[in-house]
């Protein structure tokens, strides 16, 4: 019996946009679920339906054994952290945290205890008297989190809460959110279009495309076994390399090279996928590669270039201590069992 259950939920906006296609999903108690996908794929819509901020067109949402389709957001006992935080500008931090508790008619001293505890947890005790306008981006972020935590809701909803922060702070807050969620143990759904954020935070990940959950699983499962071109390209950084070609008689063939012994009877146009980190140099390597550009990240080098005779771009990842100059020629092999082949027409994985 799962804690939150989406049963064949769809959403069609009044203007006819089909934002969410038939979606079913179970989330366990205490689980950290991440929705990831490109802009406009319906992540926010799905989240907002759970919150009750959007009507559900068809289907049911069940939270804690109760169908909540018709329940007003104010009575659903969910908390949401918005991208722009949506702090209450005319209230100081204390009242921002206390407001939800006041509305539930808690006694003053109880409220004070809870607010102080949440403030301590988030290290914002020093700013309780300040208005949101006088806080930095990171502090506002914490207040927004505090406002969610202080009510101990049934479920936390996060809609890209980190996207307004600078890169360094984003990583820091990412860690803190994860730690916090572990500590408080509240079931959470986190929406992001950043795949690194998704991978690092999630217990389970739902990759969404065009209003459909393309794949659901733990981050590692999805990284190792993407079921479609879309998921393969979306998860992993830098992106997986895709090379178009043809599969026939267990042989993958493209202009520049061939791979034999592929265990599939498929016959037709396919896409070969290989991650940058799964390429290795070899003297008589399969793929001849002209280096265009080397991005030195310190720990790693990202080597970009073209495959011989063909204009396919390729990215190859090497340890940072390896010296590679642009203009040089390399020969690369694919590590064993690390190649993916997708049906070009359907985008589905073949092997």
Partner 1 sequence: MTRLFTSSFSHLILFIGIFIMIVPVWLIFASSTHSSLSINTQGLQVYLGDRFVENYIRVLLYKGGFFKEITALKMFFNSFIMATGVAILSVVTSLMAAYALVYYRIKYATLLFWIIFITILVPLELRIFPTYSVMAKLNLVNSYFGLIVPISASAVATLFFRQFYKTVPDELLESAKLDGANTWRFFIDFLVPLSKTMIVAMLIFMFVFGYNQYLWPLLVTSQEQYWTVVMGLKMMSGSIVHRFAFVMMSMIPPILIIVILQRHFIKGVFQDK
Q: List residues binding partner 1 (CB under 8 A).
A: 51-53, 72-76, 78-80, 82, 84, 86, 88-90, 99-100, 103-104, 131, 133, 147, 151
Identify the helix (H) or strand (E) that includes residue 332.
strand 329-334
Query: Between 55 and 322, whose beta carbon lies closer to ligand ATP?
Result: 55
- DSSP letters of 14-48? TTS-EEEEEEEEEE-TT-EEEEE-STTSSHHHHHH
Q: Strand 287-296 and strand 18-27: pairing?
A: unpaired
Q: From the list Mg ion, partner 1, ligand ATP, none, which binds 42 (C-beta under 5 to 8 Å, kind-based)?
A: ligand ATP
Contact 87, 133 (CB under 8 A): no
CA angle, 9 then 75 then 146, to 5°:
100
278 contributes a contact to ligand ATP by CB under 6 A: no
Contact 125, 146 (CB under 8 A): no
44 contributes a contact to Mg ion by CB under 5 A: yes
Q: From the list Mg ion, ligand ATP, partner 1, none, which binds 193 (C-beta under 5 to 8 Å, kind-based)?
A: ligand ATP
Query: Between 41 and 50, whose beta carbon lies closer to ligand ATP?
Result: 41
Count other Cβ atoms within 10 Å, centred on residue 160.
19
Structure tokens at 155: 């479920």
Contact 286, 332 (CB under 8 A): yes
**CA–CA separation, 80 and 147 (whole Å):** 9
| Region near Mg ion per CB under 5 A, out of 36-44, 113-121, 166-174, 305-313 | 36-44
96 contributes a contact to Mg ion by CB under 5 A: no
Q: Strand 287-296 and strand 300-307: pairing?
A: antiparallel
43 contributes a contact to ligand ATP by CB under 6 A: yes
Using CB under 6 A as the criterion, what x/- string covers residues 172-201 for binding ligand ATP? ---------------------x--------
Among 6, 9, 19, 235, binds ligand ATP (CB under 6 A): 19
Query: Between 85 and 252, whose beta carbon lies closer to partner 1?
Result: 85
As measured in angstroms, the least distance from the Cβ of 230 to partner 1 is 30
Query: Between 140 and 193, whose beta carbon lies closer to ligand ATP?
Result: 193
């Amino acid at each position: 019996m799962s804690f939150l259950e989406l049963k064949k939920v769809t959403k069609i906006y009044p203007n006819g946009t089909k934002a969410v296609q038939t979606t079913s999903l179970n989330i366990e108690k205490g689980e950290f679920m991440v929705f990831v996908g490109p802009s406009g794929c319906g992540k926010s819509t799905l989240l907002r339906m759970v919150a009750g901020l959007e009507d559900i067109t068809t289907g049911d949402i069940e939270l804690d054994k109760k169908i909540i389709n018709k329940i007003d957001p104010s009575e659903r006992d969910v908390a949401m952290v918005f991208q722009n935080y949506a702090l209450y500008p005319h209230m100081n931090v204390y009242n921002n945290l206390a407001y939800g508790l006041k509305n539930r008619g808690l006694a003053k001293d109880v409220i004070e205890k809870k607010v102080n505890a949440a403030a301590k947890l988030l290290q914002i005790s020093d700013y309780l008297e300040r208005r949101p306008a006088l806080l930095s981006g990171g502090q506002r972020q914490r207040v927004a989190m505090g406002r969610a935590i202080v009510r101990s809701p049934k479920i936390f909803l996060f809609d890209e809460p980190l996207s307004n922060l600078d890169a360094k702070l984003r990583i820091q807050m990412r860690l803190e959110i994860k730690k916090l969620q572990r500590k408080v143990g509240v079931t959470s759904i986190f929406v992001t279009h950043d795949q690194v954020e998704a991978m690092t935070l999630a217990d389970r990940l739902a990759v969404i495309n065009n209003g459909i959950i393309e794949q659901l699983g733990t981050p590692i499962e999805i990284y190792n076994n993407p079921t479609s071109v879309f998921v393969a390209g979306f998860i992993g950084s830098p992106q997986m390399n895709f090379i178009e070609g043809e599969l026939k008689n267990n042989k993958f063939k493209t202009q520049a090279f061939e791979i034999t012994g592929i265990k599939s009877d498929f016959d037709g146009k396919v896409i070969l996928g290989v991650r940058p980190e799964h390429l290795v140099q070899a003297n008589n390597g399969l793929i001849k590669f002209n280096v265009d550009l080397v991005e030195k990240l310190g720990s790693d080098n990202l080597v970009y270039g073209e495959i011989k005779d063909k204009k396919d771009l390729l990215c190859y990842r090497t340890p940072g201590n390896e010296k590679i100059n642009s203009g040089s020629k390399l020969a690369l092999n694919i590590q064993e069992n690390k190649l993916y082949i997708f049906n070009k027409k359907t985008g589905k994985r073949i092997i």
